[in-house]
Chain A
Amino acid sequence: MDIKPILATLGRHKFTVFLLIAQIALTCAIVCNAIFLISQRLERMAIPSYIAEHELVYLQLAFIGARPDAMARTEADLAGLREVQGVKSAMIIDHLPMSGSSSNSSLWLDPAQQMETMDATQYFGENLLSTLGVQLEAGRAFNPEEYRDLDKIDKALQTGDMKEIPTSVLITRAVADRLWPGQNPLGKQVYIGRNFALTVVGVVKGLVRPNLLERGAQYSLIHPVRLSMSAGSYYVLRCDPKDRERVLKAALAKLNALDPNRIVLDSGTWDQMRYNFFRNDRAMAGILMGVCLALLVVTALGIVGLASFWVSQRNRSIGVRRALGATRGHILTYFQTENFLLTTFGIVLGMVLAYGINLFLIVHYELPRLPLTYLPVGAMLLWCLGQAAVLGPALRAAAVPPVVATRSV
């Protein structure tokens, strides 16, 4: 197929051609970046939690007035909850994975060093491994005698009584790889807040943070600290996935029977918590998807409109060509090639623009660089779109009978 006559014809509609190319370029640039943004959101939403996601329910309570005997009442609550039929394990935890609020601290490899080595989230609570279903990869879990009460730790911090402060810690594989890449982390020491040396006794496969996932989703520590019910903490129950609704209802009734003077702030399955945690990402991905679709539809319609015009404008010349021996296939190919050329120009310009937009986003929103693989994908998308959009008008052009050439308009 000779493209010279096509280029010559396009040259006669410079401005219209320029507009179409500009539209395709803009669409290409925006769609490439939007798809990239969508994939980033989807990637974030797929972060593994390394817990028994489908087996957990939680309850968050608020109390009216102070409770001096908090520890004893928490133990009673937990004992009651363990009696609920179907509950395999129960615990109290201060922050749940993906709950949105966390307690974080800086870690030092050497207390004398200027800057901290990293920052990680801290999980407290007895029976954490068995209840959340966190998998131990190396070393051991905490022994019962290692646990300390949080209240006593607070007091000990004031008096400087180091006996009451735990000295062992469990870390995730991600923390181990960050602190001691390629080495065995067991038995090594890490400092929290400079003053407290903790010995790593075990490594868990992973445990996602409650929030701040962008600082390292699996940067978590587990401390042997026993909690009592306080503002913001959760009761977590592990049960069979199909029992969750029933267990939650029974647990609420149980807690109400034990102490009616409290209010349930929040309760549900951990699956719901995860779903809610990513709801902004999901909404944004939806909007981006919608804009992409709308852009592609508008551009397709633009191509259909312009191609239709050109076809009807060139009705006579098509007739002449047909009369001179061009087949329907030739006419069809002509319009398809024309569209392919236009789309290709648009795509080339669009790629440059896509990188420009990406650069702007990198500077202003700290987004990563657009991977090169997005460009061929965007190009294919627009080529297909262009060919599909031009097919209708091109078929109409191919259907023009040679006799048109002999008619005067």
Chain B
Amino acid sequence: MSQQRRTSPRRRRLRRWAFLLLALVAAGTLAGLLTPQRQTAVAQESGTQRQGEQIYLNTCLTCHGAQLEGVEGRGPSLVGAGEAKVYFQVSTGRMPLARQQAQGQRKPVEFSDDEIRALMAYVDSFGGGGAKMPEERGEALRGNVARGGELFRLNCAACHNFTGRGGALTSGKYAPSLDPANEEQIYTAMLTGPSNMPVFGDRQLSPEEKRDIIAYVESVQHESNNYGGHPLGSLGPVSEGAVAWVVGIVALVLLTLWIGARA
């Protein structure tokens, strides 16, 4: 046993403290290095997002909640809703809702394009996997009209009528007329299924098929595209039959009266 170096109790205590401090710092650094990054990327707060947040807090908060978690009986959660959904609801004027009713309706838009984009960016920063806007814009979203007509009749015409006139559903709900819808609105509607409309995901109707459908809808808006003469409201047999009966039968009766009259 060698001679022990004697150290004063004060220095020993000091050394203990220093060691403890070092260990704590090391552990903290290690923990900081080894703890995995949060999987949900917290998007960089940009100026656009701050503007979106302001709009959200002013107009959406009451029904959708401060953390977009939704408010029972007022509005659904918007976490993971995605920018496409925001674009459809806000750019058609459906949101902000005027009052709670069977379904939101199209009305004059509250916000400018920039404000809508800001709101989209803000909502999109909550939760992942939301529906995205299409790459193209406007006319570039129009595909093959003929194929689109086929797909429209198979997938959409049941509720929206064969030329997009719209129609009644249950309990005050309705499939709206497609006349005022622009290309992006039709695209995002199919993608997100607003209100009671079913969702048509990209694996069910590919983006190309969606563009075909958009081309068809745009071609029949406002009762245009009438290769058979006057569309009579584009409602089909009801208006056409009524006109055939009233006009046709009156004409026939008048002709018969003329033929039978004595010269």
Please determine whether chains A and B interact with each other in the same assembly: no
* Residue positions of A touching B, CB distance < 8 A: none
